[in-house]
Chain A
Amino acid sequence: MQCGWPLLGPLQWIRYVNKLVKVKAGKDEEHRGWLLTVDPVSASLVLVNFGEGEGASVQVVMGHAVEEVEVLQEANEEITDRLQASFLPPRNRTRLDP
């Protein structure tokens, strides 16, 4: 995906959800992580990297700075569940359909 990321719109963004992506942002930043969501207002990406155990590191890449987004891998069921459970209260866990 070259440039124009903020213009893609929700139907395109949601296709990247639950995928391992590589994001180039600014002049010289590159981030990898599982895409949790894209804010439809600012086009910012939320990337999650699971560490050992429960913890995870989260990167938010601002939509205006995104240069390129590349899909590296699809999530398996375990990672999808873990991703979607990251910020949801236990009572209404719903799955995103990519």
Chain B
Amino acid sequence: SIPTSAGSESDAEQLQEEQHARSVLRETFLRCLLSISNKKVQFRMHEKVKVDATFGASDIDVLNFQVSDLHTPIGVQKEALIRCQDVISFTFDV
């Protein structure tokens, strides 16, 4: 595509550097996600709610997590999708 403005060389250089950083960070994150599948995780949600589940997968834009055996206060949900917006953090062991 044709750039909308004549970018200087240093802009192009910085863009390339940024893209490299982005790819390195993302690759490590994806490898980490891969290693979580089928592991027991504990989610910390708002209002100090903690729930345990077996991690399945995440969608590419990290909007939802698919989990199994979600231990909720009212029982165990065999399969579930968790909205990432509802999660503050989650923990697992490797």
- Residue in contact with A87 in the complex, picked from B28, B44, B89, B91, CB distance below 8 Å: B28
Inter-chain residue pair count (beta carbon < 8 A): 102
Q: Chain A residues with Cβ under 8 A from B14's Cβ?
A: 11
* Contact B29 A86, beta carbon cutoff 8 Å: no
* Contact A60 B89, beta carbon cutoff 8 Å: yes
* Contact A60 B90, beta carbon cutoff 8 Å: yes
B17 lies within 8 A of chain A by Cβ: yes
Interface size classification for chain A: 35 or more
Q: Chain B residues with Cβ under 8 A from A26's Cβ?
A: 44, 46, 88-89
A88 lies within 8 A of chain B by Cβ: yes
Measured CB to CB, the nearest residue on chain A to B39 is: A58
A→B interface (CB under 8 Å): 9-11, 13-14, 17, 25-29, 31, 36-42, 44, 46, 55-62, 64-65, 86-88, 96
